[in-house]
Chains A and B, each alone.
Chain A
Amino acid sequence: MTNLAHDISKPRRTFWTMERRDAAAGYIFIAPQLMGIVLFVLIPLGLVFWYSLHEWNVLANTFNFRGLGNYEQLLRDPALPQVLAASAIFSAGLVVFNMSLALLLAVLLDQKLRGIVVFRTLFFSPVVVSLVAWTIVWGFLLQNNGGINGLLQMVGIEGPNWLRHPTTAMISVIVVQVFKNVGLNMILFLAALQGVPKELYEAARVDGAPRFKQFRRITLPMISPTILLTSIITIVGSLQVFAQIAVLTQGGPGMSTTVLVYYLYQQAFQFHFFGYGATLSILLFLIVAVLTFAQWQMRRRLVFYEN
């Protein structure tokens, strides 16, 4: 087909051949996106690095070159281990809980049941509820005398003051985030499940393989590309969590829920240490890059591709 098109356009011996016009069109089409990336991603990324080499306090109006001083400060920052631990616990907890719940819900929704669309709609509904509205309601529910402890008390359980203890506060922010967004992964898994060829199950059934074995040996490998993709999206997303922390716990109690983005926000925009904030940004960038790269590498070993 392509060759045919070229043959027809050949007689013109102008500068603007089909190829050249096409290439020009290509550059025009990508221009807005590419300029945006240069202006709002690449230049700021360079600036972040440049700022991170400076001592920069906006209030005191100081901007002094400090070399790697901010990075030394980063390594000696007594808060850093806590912040990294909080980020790691939050991300790990979120990914494990989110992925397993999404898979469970997708398998349930894949069953032949009447009214399943109603369930699908309801499980998905928090995705479209405004994030801060959702978080505020959960903050209200998680108060010491709030709805959750009220319900627990009705069945004779004395609930903790959820947002005031380090462990339960961390569990709370994870759970609130999972129920908000698990619907997205659920839908992607459901689409993947429905894409698994039925013949594979027929064959397994003829061989007498039990349901669980079918799931482990057929379903999981067949949907593993989706699992990989959603886990990358979920992990990177978990490192960006901010609103939930800001609204529910403000990083507390103590520093127990101060994840990296929240710490970065505090340092840069509450304490006005822009140079140190930029250094934390570099750290965040490196973590995202390494995690994405590692998962992409794992793809070769863990993911099954049909072709």
Chain B
Amino acid sequence: MKTDLSPRMKVALYGLMCILLIPFVFPTWWMVTSSVKPISDIFAFPPDIIPRQFDFSTYSQVFELQPFARQYWNSAYIAALVTLGTMIVSSMAGYAFARIKFPFSNAIFMVVLLGLLIPSEVTIVPLFQMFLSWGMINTHWPLILVPVFGAPSVFATFVMRQFFISLPVELEEAARVDGLGRFKIFWTIALPLAKPALGAVAIFTFLHSWNLYLEPIVFLSSTQMFTLPQALTQFTDAYGGAMWNIQLAAATMTALPVLVVFIIAQKQFVEGLAHTGLKG
């Protein structure tokens, strides 16, 4: 489809894309700008696309109304552990399923793939009971153990397997002739080559953990333990009405750091996801 376009066609395409961009970009802009508007201005008509007056007190109120720094830390360290754990578990399993011959490997792979068919929502009731009997309710263990070892990591394993299958086997064969053990081969040869796939796994695992909502509200009950998505919905007044500008300040603090990292590293981000075993 790539042909040189006429200037008129180019203008039309730019125009179309700019219009299509509005619902993608405007909400983020509106979140950031509304978070620094005084409460009297946030529902002003006509809407102020650029704030007329700034009120940064919303940002300090976020920390007064909730243990927000603690909640931020909760989300951050859980996401970091889940990402690291998933990278380890899925790259090892993916490598074994792609490269190592062992009895029943195909049958076991099919069993593991069942995880794709069984979203965590299906098993949330018994998982709650299991973690209750282990005394892990209102701890972060369920939010770490289930994603790293359970259904959410299966997709990562699948991606890693697809990647290792596509990798030329010759390098590893040479190392085997030299008498290198499997673990050495995996660690020193295969894994360094798998950086693009690992990057993609890291990105979507981090985002998945960072966005988790059902599991935290099922497993966690005290505000000290809450994760960010859960905390964001708690900024309500005595009548349950949303305190919009404070909520938006908290949302901005949640969204902006990841967004900035993404914009800096967007090339690796997008291409990592695009070229990773997801081609059917």
A residues near B (Cβ < 8 Å) are: 1-2, 4-5, 8, 19, 21-27, 29-30, 32-37, 39-45, 47-48, 51, 105, 107-108, 110-113, 117, 119-134, 136-141, 143, 145-147, 150-151, 153-154, 175, 179, 183-184, 187-188, 190-193, 195, 198, 201, 211, 214-215, 219, 225-226, 228-229, 236, 239-240, 242-243, 246-247, 261, 264-265, 268-269, 274, 277-278, 281-282, 284-285, 288-289, 292, 303
Tell me how far the C-beta of A90 lies from the nearest C-beta in chain B, rounded to whole angstroms.
14
Best-surrounded residue of A2, A123, A243 (most CB of chain B within 10 A): A243
B residues near A (Cβ < 8 Å) are: 1-5, 10, 13-14, 16-17, 20-21, 23-28, 30-31, 34, 42-43, 45-47, 88-90, 92-93, 95-97, 100-103, 105, 108, 111-112, 114-119, 121-130, 145-146, 148-151, 153-154, 157, 169-170, 173, 176-177, 181-183, 186, 207, 210-211, 213-214, 217-218, 228-230, 232-233, 242, 244, 247-248, 251-252, 254-255, 258-259, 261-263, 266-267, 269-270, 273-275, 278-280
Contact call A187/B273, Cβ cutoff below 8 A: yes
Closest-by-CB residue of A relative to B185 is A25
User: Which of B1, B28, B90, B258 is the one whose CB lies under 8 Å from A219?
Assistant: B1
Bound: A30/B107 CA distance, A: 13
Bound: A292/B117 CA distance, A: 8
Which 5 A-B residue pairs are closest in the complex by CB-CB distance?
A36-B149, A225-B280, A40-B150, A26-B102, A29-B96
- A47: chain B residues at CB < 8 Å are 123, 126, 129-130
- B214: chain A residues at CB < 8 Å are 242-243, 261, 265
Contact call B28/A126, Cβ cutoff below 8 A: yes
Best-surrounded residue of B4, B248, B280 (most CB of chain A within 10 A): B280
Contact call B126/A32, Cβ cutoff below 8 A: no
User: Which of B5, B125, B266 is the one whose CB lies under 8 Å from A113?
Assistant: B5
List 6 A–B pairs whose Cβ atoms lie within 8 Å, in order of A's numbering: A21-B181, A26-B105, A134-B255, A211-B1, A236-B116, A285-B117
